[in-house]
Structure 1
Amino acid sequence: MNSEERRIAVLRAIVADFVATNEPVGSKAIVDRHNLGVSSATVRNDMAALEDEGYIIQPHTSAGRIPTDKGYRLFVDRLSQIKPLSAAEKKAIATFLDGAVDLDDVLRRSVRLLAQLTRQVAVVQYPTLSRSTVRHLEVVPLTPARLMLVLITDTGRVDQRVVDLGDVLTDDDVARLRALLNTVLVGQQLTTAAARVAALPEEGPNHLRAVMTTLASVLVESLVEHPEERLVLGGTANLARQGGDATSLRGVLEALEEQVVVLRLLTAADDPAQVTVRIGEENEAEEMWATSTVSIGYGPLSTPGAALGGMGVVGPTRMDYPSTIAAVRAVARYVGEIVGGR
């Protein structure tokens, strides 16, 4: 092993031990715990070089070293392989998620699972409406002058709206509306469906024009994104268990509650095959500079780059990156198959 490879090995040892113990790591501990085949003096020289290059720091005198954000970045970039989850872990994920009854349940279970597997804060984004298509629109008469519209997308999202019409409709009118709406909307992407809906009043029979105008305005509202409904968060108690000062923890929690910050993180994760790791100040929001985020898109793997939504975890920079990346990737794969195949 040449000197650069050996330094990377020393950095890996420091990251592994610091993540495990939350204590600065000394050269003797590295020699004792990691079979690098070199003397303590050589390890000390390598640590001095890593410190000069900004990959590790000495938090106080006569102590060992801890990784910097730059050190974690190099560690993550040099991960030659992500330790795959065991067959038992994969089976547990599949069993837990397959028991979900609908999209809401899938996402709630995913967040709970990710938080448990990684012991971090987990975030899952609802499937982005703009990438969904209309599967079916049901029109249910509640009274002769009141309807319920049930919009179902190919990603399993269901949006229900009750509409007071002001006009009394016959069963034939309801059937005609149902047929017309489905003819216009089924198979349309939601981005184009809104425009088609706006033109609907012109396409209906004269006596239903006023009703169609009312329905169109309600449907357009349903087809527009609702950012406040788009995230599921879980495991926030894990943040407190990680230690750290209360002020920075409060800042992270407030940033997570301002969903825009997290949405920005997840929106960048638009490829189901690619895990994105942001460490410390690589996160845009200053409140998140003490954290790392590990995110990925989820969706059918048969369509790379076309994620339906994003998911990931937020935790301290001192996290077990290989295990976290493996867990995020595995859960995303199952969620992508379930949601993409609905």
Structure 2
Amino acid sequence: MGNRAKKVLHAVVTEYLGSGEAVGSKTITRRYNFDVSPATVRSVMGELEELGLLRHPHASAGRVPTERGLRYYVDSLLRVRGLSGAEKEGIQNHFVGASDVGDVVERARDVLREMSHLTVVVQAPRIDSDTISHLEFVKLREDQLLAVIATSAGNVQNKAVQIDFSLESGELERINNYLRELVAGRTLAEIRARVAAELEDERTRHDQVKARALGLASVAVPEHHRASLIVDGQSNILSVAESVDGARTLLRALEEKEFILKLLDRTLQAPGICVFIGAEANLADLTDVSVVTAPYGEENRPVGTIGVIGPSRINYAKVISLVDFTADVITKALPKL
């Protein structure tokens, strides 16, 4: 695509995102200082339409971007607007005094909803993908232990475990010492795999402490843990949607949280910001929708995702910066808890 065509497409998308109306060649020529006539701009717009980047709405002389046009704009033409110092400080101040992981997630949800005026989705930290920092068994009764599992993101889970054997003096301490080495720096998924492999090892059967430690770990370590989802700000959809029918469809899709979780699972595997436009989001066959997400947590081991959902006509330059910075603040807040 030539430079003139890129400039015209950028201008059309910018106007459309601001007004929601079809954009004509005269508007482009007048507002964007093109040194060519409206007829020339109109001709370029026609070429962009043939490429599938613009379309002609019914009963309108102007054009609007297609999903493909918006995709090209976001990928190749958009200049992301960095947040101001005051905006960054406002977001950071929201997290001052956060007491635990749940508190951090709720504050992130609130600040992103207030600043984006869109619907916010937060995938709470997934303990499966989080590094385990502590696994210990505490004696409750002769036949019962309490398993305490803590993660680097601040998640803590307790589980009562029944035992059918008597612990010898100092045996529980030896079990905990062995497990401390076993879990160090590993995720729950990795620990489950390691425990299964060790239990299959013939040598384990001849080591009582090791066998009991692995047996306890296999019971205490939870199976696959489905991340919880927080959705907030649904009322914002009513104020930004292009139509009432579109708003209703999107609200129904948000009720089917499985759609959202599958989408966020995809973004958890991708580095940095993800932008889904229209059908890319795969949200109940919706087309007038956009989703902007970012993972949070360690760079190589993200534990959750935060993002916003709105119509395809959102302020991408601002929203991308908001989501990206908020995810970064969450990442920095988690280890301090």
- Normalised by the shorter chain, which TM-score bucket? 0.7 to 0.9
Find the partner of 2:39 among 35, 38, 41: 41
**Matched position secondary structure for 1:6:** helix
Aligned to 1:337: 332
Equivalent position SS for 2:62: coil
Contact 1:140/1:147 (8 A) holds in 2: yes
Counterpart CA distance in 1 for 2:167 and 2:92 is: 47
1:256-275 matches, cutoff 5 A: 256-270=254-268, 273-275=271-273
CA positional deviation for 1:85: 0.8
Partner of 2:51: 53
What displacement does 1:219 show? 0.9
Q: Distance in 1 between matches of 2:150 and 2:270?
A: 23
- Quote how far apart the aligned CAs of 1:69 are: 0.9
Aligned to 1:225: 224
> Aligned ranges for residues 26-175 of structure 1 at < 5 Å?
26-79=24-77, 81-140=79-138, 146-163=144-161
Distance across 1 between alignment mates of 2:140 and 2:249: 47
List per-residue Cα deviations over 1:262-297 (Å, max 9, x = no partner): 233223324675322221122334433321222222
Q: 1:325 aligns with which of 313, 320, 328?
A: 320
Aligned residue for 1:298, secondary structure, equals: strand
| Match of residue 310 from structure 1 | 305
Q: CA contact under 8 A between 2:130 and 2:301: conserved in structure 1? A: no
Residue 150 of structure 1 aligns to which amino acid in structure 2? V
Aligned residues: 331
Q: Is the contact made by 2:128 and 2:225 (CA closer than 8 Å) also made in structure 1?
A: no
- Secondary structure, aligned partner of 1:308: strand
Aligned equivalents of 1:281, 1:237: Cα separation in 2: 22
Let me know the Cα RMSD of the aligned residues: 3.4
Residue 73 of structure 1, CA deviation: 1.3
Structure 1 residue runs of 5 or longer lacking an equivalent are none
Give the structure-1-normalised TM-score: 0.81
Distance 1:72 1:205, change over 3 A: closer
Tell me whether 122-131 or 86-95 shows the greater mean CA deviation: 122-131
Matched, 1:21 2:22: no
- Greater CA deviation, 246-255 or 108-117? 246-255
Q: CA deviation at 1:55?
A: 1.9
| 1:228-276 Cα shifts (integer Å, max 9, x gaps) | x432222222222223444443443343343332233223324675322
1:193-232 matches, within 5 Å, as 193-196=191-194, 204=208, 215-216=216-217, 218-220=219-221, 222=222, 224-227=223-226, 229-232=227-230
8 Å CA contact 1:161, 1:218 repeated in 2: no
Q: Is the 8 A contact 2:6 2:77 kept in 1?
A: no
For 1:334, what is the secondary structure of its paired residue? helix
Contact 1:131 1:190 in 2 (8 A): yes
Shift of 1:316: 0.9
**Secondary structure of the corresponding residue to residue 133 of structure 2:** strand
Secondary structure in 2 aligned to 1:137? Answer: strand
Alignment partner of 1:284 is 2:279? no
Amino acid of the structure 2 residue aligned with 1:89: E
**CA distance in structure 1 between the partners assigned to 2:92 and 2:246 by the alignment:** 36
Equivalents in 2 of 1:205, 1:72: separation in Å? 61
Distance 2:37 2:335 in 1: 54
